[in-house]
Structure 1
Amino acid sequence: MRRRSDGRLMAGGRLAAALALALLLPAGPAAATPAGSGGESESGTLRVCADPNNMPFSNDRGEGFENRIAEFVARELGYRGVAYTWWAQRRGFIRNTLKAGACDVVIGVPAGMEMVATTRPYYRSTYVFVERRDRGLKLASLRDPRLGSLRIGVHLIGDDGANTPPADALGEEGIIDNVVGYMIYGDYSEPAPPSRLVEAVATGEVDVGAAWGPLAGYFAQRAGVPLDVVPIADTGGFAPLAFQFDIAMGVRHGDEALRGRLDALIAERGDALRAILAGYGVPLLPVSAAAGKRGGGDD
């Protein structure tokens, strides 16, 4: 984990909200943007850009909640099915998939993300603490004085060890030496690389984890011991860090036909989309009023 000359954690990866997507990392020059097609291939399938090993979001076995949402969208919009372009969601994901014209929609991106045209948000989630229930810690605030003596697991993004918002905030509180970093990508040859942090909480390797809610909620449901997932509160003093994000779908700039169809579906069937998310343990908050129809999310 990177530190400044005064020993505190360096800011980094703030925009990356550790959605664990790496979608917000620089993706290089934009490819030529084809005209909007409404998202339909010659075979009448919905062409989706996705990661083959990024649970709980997606995998090539169709087990993630974004797989389920893609199938739902395809059915509701009258497609024959879903056709995937698989690419690891790391640096260059958007450039090599959506912008290259290989596929037409990314199911989960931060609302207002500039490198794509985003729909209206269909859910909002938050960073959380995840802890063993038998410990009875009941942490909720990054300013809890007990954090100074607990081993805290956090996700790091990218090869440069960029920090997620909880890691930055802990550094601002002077909590450094007892923080343990786990790479969000992990070993990509193994299934579900981000799960390592939650596993560390379950085994007692760390006392508490601070992670993006959809990741923590899903893996906590599948841990060998009961784990509690609690939204991180009391974050107002850590500006410009954001801990809650509205999530939308992303299409190519100029593809207003597909974006319009997705917007209408989200408006009409948003409850069904959020029911899929709830089934995966995703902590859900009301979409922010400031997000409007196609706005961005922040804290």
Structure 2
Amino acid sequence: MKWTQVFAAALALLAGTAQAAGPDRELVVCADPNNLPFSNEALAGFENQIAALVARDLGMTLRYLWWAQRRGYARNTVNEARCDLWPGIAQGVDALATTVPYYRSSYVFVTRADRPLKGLTLDDERLRRLSIGVQMIGDDAANTPPAHAVARRGLTQNVRGFMVYGDYEQPNPTAAIIDAVASGSIDVAIVWGPLAGYFGQRTQVPLRLDQVTPTIDAGQWPMSFDISMGVRKTDVELRRRIDEVLRKEQPAIRRILHDYGVPLASQ
């Protein structure tokens, strides 16, 4: 064998060794398989697209751990080391270390565009004459901010509750509250913005979205949230690297959010 062939073979061996020992490894993302517009098993959610962007920039292979988002989600996934990353959580949650936020959204009032209900606020007297759809968790102490806000105003007789998780046996289980507005079975819904923006674009009847105000009700119920990604508290270096990607890719992330109709909120 000529020395050039030996040298080429040695380079190939070294390259293969370097690739095997290099930074390329799996990034395991935990996500819900039936939770559009955020994620699903067909990778059709905006969190799927953003996770792919992060994995690409990190030089890592993306793999999913599918797990329905219920109570104990962080404990059973990220904190059990079954996955590395949970996209789409409120910044500063106690259970995980959170990255820099990559978007901010809010709860919105959803009404039919053909009804004179533009500009609703939580203190609008019109709400006392309307049927109001509100996302519920079930335990009053852990309910959604809008559920607390309408209860504080004595509007519970007007409320029709829709469970945050929906009927998980059905595709797009969280869309029911939007469909109820479109069909006219309720007058107005108070819905987390990304969900409202996505499904609101897909109804046959045009809908109107108005940001819920006041943005902090009674000084304790925020209606807007910064959204981050969560990692284990010990994964300091991974969080640092993801922070860099999220800052760098803000224009691309904004385009993805726009394509999915996600309403962005200011502070």
User: Same fold judged by TM-score > 0.5?
Assistant: yes
Structure 1 unaligned blocks of 5 or more? 1-41, 289-299
Return the offset for 1:161. 9.1
Matched, 1:78 2:70: no
Q: Distance in 2 between matches of 1:160 and 1:61?
A: 34
Shift of 1:168: 1.3
Work out whether 1:53 is the aligned partner of 2:34: yes
Q: How does 1:119-138 map to 2 (within 5 A)?
A: 119-138=99-118
Instruction: Render the CA deviation track for 1:152-188: whole Å, top value 9, x for unaligned.
Output: 1001014679532112111211112111101111211
Whole-Å separation in 2 of the counterparts to 1:43 and 1:194: 36
Aligned to 1:232: 212
2:176 to 191, 196, 200: 196
Number of aligned positions between the proteins: 247
- Residue matched to 2:242: 262
Distance in 1 separating the partners of 2:51 and 2:214: 35
2:25 aligns with one of 37, 44, 49: 44
The 1-side partners of 2:217 and 2:92 are apart by 24
By percentage of residues, which structure has more helix?
2
- State whether residues 66 and 107 of structure 1, in contact with CA within 8 Å, keep that contact through their aligned partners in structure 2: yes
1:157 is the counterpart of 2:137: yes
> Could you tell me how far apart the structure 1 residues matched to 2:72 and 2:33 are?
15
Q: Which residue of 2 aligns with 1:19?
A: none
Q: Within 5 Å, which residues of 2 pair with 1:258-297?
A: 258-286=238-266, 288=267
AA paired with 2:103?
A: Y
Q: Distance in 1 between matches of 2:242 and 2:265?
A: 21
Matched, 1:62 2:47: no
Task: Answer yes or no: is the 8 Å Cα contact 1:142–1:235 preserved in 2.
Answer: no
In terms of mean alpha carbon deviation, does 70-79 or 242-251 score higher? 70-79
Which secondary structure state, in structure 1, belongs to the residue aligned with residue 120 of structure 2?
Answer: coil
Q: Deviations over 1:205-242 (max 9, x none)?
A: 00010011011111101111100111012345522111
Structure 1 residue 187 corresponds to structure 2 residue 174: no
Change (3 A) 1:98 1:151: same
Q: CA deviation at 1:200?
A: 0.2
Q: Distance in 1 between matches of 2:24 and 2:43?
A: 20
Letter of the aligned partner of 1:67 in structure 2? N
Q: Which residue does 1:3 correspond to in 2?
A: none
Gap change, CA 1:47 and 1:96, over 3 Å in 2: same
Contact 2:46–2:257 (CA<8 Å) still a contact in 1?
yes
Distance 1:123 1:87, change over 3 A: same
**CA distance 1:83–1:168, shift in 2 (3 Å):** same
The SS at the match of 2:82 is coil
Q: Which amino acid aligns with 1:95?
A: R
Select the residue among 198, 202, 205 that pairs with 1:218: 198
CA distance in 1, matches of 2:96, 2:138: 21
Inter-partner Cα distance in structure 2 for 1:58 and 1:260: 24
Structure 2 CA distance, aligned partners of 1:237 and 1:194?
A: 24
SS of residue in 2 equivalent to 1:195: helix
Tell me if structure 2 keeps the 8 A contact 1:128–1:212: yes
Runs of 5+ in structure 2 lacking a partner?
1-22
Aligned-partner SS, 1:99: helix
Deviation at 1:285, TM superposition (A): 2.1
